[in-house]
Structure 1
Amino acid sequence: MRKVSLKLIPRELGKKSEIKRMRREGYIPVEVYGKDVENRHAYVSLKDLMSLPHGETFLIEADVDGEKRVCLLKDIQVGYLGDDPVHVDLYDISHTKEIEIEVPLEFVGTPAGVGLGGTFEVMMHTLTVKASVDSIPDKITVDVSAMNVGDVLHVRDITPPSGCVIMDSPEEVIAVVLEPEVEETPTEETTT
């Protein structure tokens, strides 16, 4: 599992003027919390926040005054216009034995049925897995090249990565190759 380092600046509660000043300087308030750990209040650079990976599962090693905590990015709250981040929640998993987490699916290959005119349609883009912190995969790769027209890929068809248990229902549909659409050709009606 990929780990990204984030340097955080400690923050004192109850100082709205400080929050406004830090936001003008390009920093956003952060809460670091978790089970059986002391909450930490901090700031993160907007530049560092925007450079975090997209489309994959990763861990954050949050450094607050030399105290390092392994965290998951739990939430980024945005302003009322829906664009600028205004607050970040990091969930500390340093002392967690196992967690449930969504892991992206990566589909590789072109389904054989697509070459026959079928359409490949994805129903699920992630799977929920239960794993130790050290066993969380970045992504789950699924080879779909053998899928023919009419084939359905279920959760039960996926072999979980080592150290992981898939928590989604085995009957859930991940992807299908749909039948080719047949265009109806207008027929000439003959009158007698």
Structure 2
Amino acid sequence: MRRVKVKLTERVPGKKSETKRMIKEGFIPVEIYGKDVENVHAWIGVKDFLSLPHGEAFLMEAEINGDKRVCILKEVQFGWLGDNPIHVDLYDIANVKEIEVEVPIEFVGTPAGVEFGGIFEALMHSLTVKARPANLPDKISIDVSGLGIGDVIHVRDIQPPEGCEILDNPEETVAVVAEPEIEQVVTEETEEETEEQASE
């Protein structure tokens, strides 16, 4: 799994004046916690946060006052508009043998059924995976080029990367090629018949 280096600034909880100033200057409060590790309160710049990878899972090497903590992005809280991050939780994996992470799905190819009018529908965009940190994938690629109309991919059909276990319900539908929608064409003759029947 890809590692991303980020520098954080130490944060002192309880200082409202500092909190207001840092937020105004473009920083987001961060909490780092984990198994048998000391919790850390910090700040991350909004620009640094927004530059983090999208569409893939990654490990974050967070440095604060020279101390480096390898973490996963556990949770992000957003403001009421839904697009402005206001708080970030990082989970330190130093003392963890296996971790559970949501890994994005990458659909590869164009389903054969689409050429005959089928509609490809992705119902899941990530899978929950358990693995040792060293075995965590950036993403899980699924080849959908062989899917015909009516074909379905379930979680059970996906071969997990080596050293990984997929925790989602095996019966859950990941993607499907649906039947094409049939448009009803109403002719002038049909309209006249409908009007005649309505008047009788």
TM-score (norm 1): 0.92
Alignment of 1:90-105 (within 5 A): 90-105=90-105
**C-alpha distance in 2, partners of 1:82/1:165?**
32
The verdict on how the C-alpha distance between 1:168 and 1:185 changes in structure 2, with shifts beyond 3 A counting, is same
1:64 is matched with: 64
The verdict on how the C-alpha distance between 1:101 and 1:184 changes in structure 2, with shifts beyond 3 A counting, is same
Structure with the larger strand share? 1
**C-alpha distance in 1, partners of 2:174/2:85?**
32
**C-alpha distance in 1, partners of 2:111/2:80?**
42
Structure with the larger helix share? 2
Any gaps of 5 or more consecutive residues in structure 2?
none
The structural deviation recorded for 1:72 is 1.2
Tell me the alpha carbon deviations over residues 122-180 of structure 1, each in whole angstroms, 9 at most, x when there is no partner: 11111111111111101000110000111111111111001101111211111111112
SS at match of 1:49: helix
Q: Does 1:13 align with 2:21?
A: no
Q: Percent identity?
A: 63
2:73 is matched with: 73
**What letter matches 1:124 in structure 2?**
M
**What letter matches 1:84 in structure 2?**
N
Question: Which of the pair has more CA radius of gyration?
Answer: 2
Aligned length: 191
SS at match of 2:59: strand
1:110 is matched with: 110
2:122 is matched with: 122
The structural deviation recorded for 1:91 is 1.2
The verdict on how the C-alpha distance between 1:93 and 1:24 changes in structure 2, with shifts beyond 3 A counting, is same
**What letter matches 1:14 in structure 2?**
G
The verdict on how the C-alpha distance between 1:184 and 1:28 changes in structure 2, with shifts beyond 3 A counting, is closer
The structural deviation recorded for 1:36 is 1.1
SS at match of 2:18: helix
Alignment of 1:139-150 (within 5 A): 139-150=139-150
2:24 is matched with: 24
**C-alpha distance in 1, partners of 2:183/2:20?**
60
The structural deviation recorded for 1:107 is 0.5
**C-alpha distance in 1, partners of 2:12/2:81?**
27
CA RMSD of aligned residues (A): 1.7
TM-score (norm 2): 0.89
Any gaps of 5 or more consecutive residues in structure 1?
none
1:158 is matched with: 158
- Report the more deviating stretch, 106-115 or 87-96: 87-96
